[in-house]
Amino acid sequence: MKVLVPVKRVVDYNVKVRVKSDQTGVDIANVKMSMNPFDEIAVEEATRLKEKGAVAEVVAVSCGVAQCQETLRTAMAIGADRGVLVQTDAELQPLAVAKLLKALVDKEQPQLVILGKQAIDDDANQTGQMLAALLDWPQATFASKVELADGKATVTREVDGGLETLTLKLPAIITTDLRLNEPRYVTLPNIMKAKKKPLDTVTPEELGVDPAPRLKTLKVSEPPARKAGIKVADVAALVDKLKNEAKVV
């Protein structure tokens, strides 16, 4: 069975982004970029399924600018067998990415697509569900455990108030939550090997998809700043402040 793993190049999760002064967006020039953390978990899960023998091939996919090749190489260093870049400089929103991925799924015919539950830049949490809808496949979002057997996936999901378990008929879509696994560190030999793995490039036009954004961003602004707080000396002072100044207890 073949697994497709979409990965996104995003601003590194440790970077505190700044809003541009003209309010057109956040400043990502010269900022460290990395693979979206949830996507790393997705690549790791696909690789583990392959190591268990449940999966034959893992294909990593990324949509975006030419530099997304680096993200694909990282996926291949973790364990993906090959990469596909849908190259475009256009702004891509989740619906457009879902359509690009659908076109690739039609071409590659995987039995499973594993995505991250959300990207830490747009925080949308949509692409996996949208892809499932476009393909009419079942979905299991926010997965913390995945088992494949007999043409079915049994997935434990993190939901409000606890966990729930579903079985999905394959082919299916799974999106990863943080606790699904701990991605391995990529080693230097694996980085070198990844450079030799195949990486194909296609364009949205070749896939017959119009990636035009549907939502227009009118402006991006700073969140309201909190006024500076104070440090109190001891518990008595804290209780006094909470009772008499903030009046919350």
Partner 1 sequence: MTTLVIAEHDNAQLKGATLNAVAAAAKIGGDVHVLVAGANARAVADQAAQAAGVAKVLLADAPQLADGLAENVAAQVLAVASGYSHILFPATASGKNVAPRVAAKLDVAQISDIIGVESADTFQRPIYAGNAIATVQSADPVKVITVRTTGFDAVAAQGGSAAVEDVAAVADSGLSSFVGREVAKSDRPELAGARVVVSGGRGLGSAENFKILDPLADKLGAALGASRAAVDAGYAPNDWQVGQTGKIVAPQLYVAVGISGAIQHLAGMKDSKVIVAINKDAEAPIFGVADYGLVGDLFQVVPELTSAL
221 binds partner 1 (CB under 8 A): yes
Instruction: Judge residue 157's burial from the number of C-beta atoms within 10 Å of its C-beta, 0-12 exposed, 13-18 middle, 19 or more buried.
Output: buried
- Displacement of CA 71 from its chain's centroid (Å): 12
33 binds partner 1 (CB under 8 A): no
123 binds partner 1 (CB under 8 A): yes
24 binds partner 1 (CB under 8 A): no
34 binds partner 1 (CB under 8 A): no
Query: What residues contact residue 25 under an 8 Å CB cut-off, 6+ apart?
Result: 19, 217, 220
Token pair for 69: 């090749």
Instruction: Judge residue 33's burial from the number of C-beta atoms within 10 Å of its C-beta, 0-12 exposed, 13-18 middle, 19 or more buried.
Output: middle
222 binds partner 1 (CB under 8 A): yes
121 binds partner 1 (CB under 8 A): yes
Query: What residues contact residue 233 under an 8 Å CB cut-off, 6+ apart?
Result: none
Residues 55-74 that bind partner 1 (CB under 8 A): none
Residues 82-111 that bind partner 1 (CB under 8 A): 93-95, 98
22 binds partner 1 (CB under 8 A): no
Residues 137-166 that bind partner 1 (CB under 8 A): 137-142, 144, 154, 157-166
- If the CB atoms of residues 66 and 159 are measured against partner 1, the closer one turns out to be 159
